[in-house]
């Protein structure tokens, strides 16, 4: 007899790219979306990460742990460990937030219009868990001229060569 609880509806699938060999993006891979209750997210993330990822908060500038990180590696979603940004696309923006000119893979993030705080901005979110990551501005460097302005609390840094968590790696 199985005691496992089956959800009534199968999880929606999204196409993303995971970490392949040498930390390169894998071919597009279908994965189930990560859906949790507010209480489950709070228990997993803790208050600081929950405020950013699940309540669209913003780190104070220059206070995050990753804005000045210059090590080689991959930045994973702190909610679901999806690879989101690579150190090769990180640049010094002077803003005090970790800044990238492109995502690890375009499939791994999505955009949403954000009209909060009396501004029209483009919010960027994680494809797999819908976590709020930060905003995109059109003042970045070549080749994209985009600036993905992120919150450190939304990210986990995986140093190059380190063993990735199972949720980040292609099988
Ligand atoms: Zn995520």
CA of 83 to the centre of ligand 1 (A): 8
Q: Which entry of 77, 80, 126, 149 is annotated as an active-site residue?
A: 149
Please tell me the class of the 13-168 domain. mainly beta
The pLDDT, as a whole number, for residue 11 is 83
Tell me what pLDDT residue 7 has: 56
Mean pLDDT by 10 residues, the chain (171 residues): 58 95 94 96 97 90 85 97 97 94 98 92 97 97 97 96 95 79
pLDDT of residue 22: 86
Q: Is 63 a catalytic residue?
A: no
**Residue 40 burial (10 A CB sphere; 0-12, 13-18, 19+):** exposed
How far, in Å, from the CA of 102 to the mean position of ligand 1? 17
Quick one: how far is CA 20 from the chain centroid?
17
Supply the DSSP string of 63-74, one letter for each residue.
Answer: -SSSTT---SEE
Q: How far is the centre of ligand 1, averaged over its atoms, from the C-alpha of 127 (Å)?
A: 6
CA distance 130 to 110: 9
């Amino acid at each position: 007899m199985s005691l496992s609880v089956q959800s009534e509806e199968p999880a929606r699938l999204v196409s993303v790219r995971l970490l392949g060999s040498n930390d390169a993006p894998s071919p597009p891979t279908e994965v189930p979306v990560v859906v949790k209750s507010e209480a489950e997210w709070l228990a997993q993330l803790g208050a600081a990460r929950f405020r950013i990822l699940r309540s669209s908060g913003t780190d104070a500038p220059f206070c995050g742990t990753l804005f000045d990180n210059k090590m080689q590696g991959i930045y994973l979603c702190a909610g679901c460990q999806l690879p989101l940004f690579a150190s090769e696309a990180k640049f010094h923006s002077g803003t005090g937030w970790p800044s990238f000119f492109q995502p690890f893979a375009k499939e791994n993030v999505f955009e949403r219009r954000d009209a909060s705080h009396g501004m029209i901005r483009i919010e960027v979110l994680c494809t797999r868990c819908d976590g709020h990551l930060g905003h995109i501005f059109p003042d970045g460097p070549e080749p994209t001229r985009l600036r993905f302005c992120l919150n450190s609390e939304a990210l986990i840094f995986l140093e190059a060569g380190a063993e990735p968590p199972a949720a980040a790696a292609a099988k």
